[in-house]
């Protein structure tokens, strides 16, 4: 089984470089801004996201870090705004919020607690605030 790297130019002049094995995403996938700055990087195993996904602004600031297991969010998910200020930290387990969460405004903590996801049909509930 040989890994094949495929490069394609996207509609907005971004570039995507993806590694495939047997026709499935398997290995690193990277998106690049037209200016040459890395936009995002993630890893796949058998067409499912696995490990860390990181996204950057065109200026190189990290704006997102997620962790995946078998294609589902699993572990800490963090989001920053374009100025580099942390906006949220949420723990996930098998694709659902599970455990501690923290929300920030202008880099200042405004809400924290424990995520409650009671069943597969309900929206996420963060301390009586519903997030669809």
Q: pTM of the full predicted structure?
A: 0.86
Per residue in 55-78, pLDDT (tens digit) is: 999 999 999 999 999 999 999 999
Q: State both tokens at 38.
A: 């890395």
Under a CB-based contact definition with an 8 Å cutoff, are residues 69 and 46 in contact? no
For 16: left if phi > 0, alpha if psi spans -120 to 50, otherwise beta; the answer is beta
Each residue of 89-130: pLDDT tens digit?
999 999 999 889 999 999 899 999 888 766 555 555 565 554
pLDDT 10s digits, 18-53: 999 999 999 999 999 999 999 999 999 999 999 999
């Amino acid at each position: 089984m040989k890994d094949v790297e495929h490069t394609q130019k996207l509609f907005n002049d971004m570039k995507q470089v993806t590694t495939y094995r047997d026709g499935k995403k398997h290995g690193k996938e990277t998106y690049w801004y037209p200016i040459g700055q890395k936009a995002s990087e993630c890893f796949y195993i058998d067409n499912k996201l696995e490990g860390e996904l990181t996204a950057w602004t065109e200026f190189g600031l990290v704006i997102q870090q997620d962790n995946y297991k078998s294609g589902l969010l699993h572990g800490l998910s963090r989001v920053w705004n374009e100025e580099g200020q942390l906006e949220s930290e949420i723990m996930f387990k098998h694709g659902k919020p599970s455990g501690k969460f923290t929300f920030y405004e202008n880099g200042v903590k405004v809400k924290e607690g424990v995520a409650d996801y009671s069943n597969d049909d309900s929206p996420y509930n963060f301390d009586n605030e519903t997030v669809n």
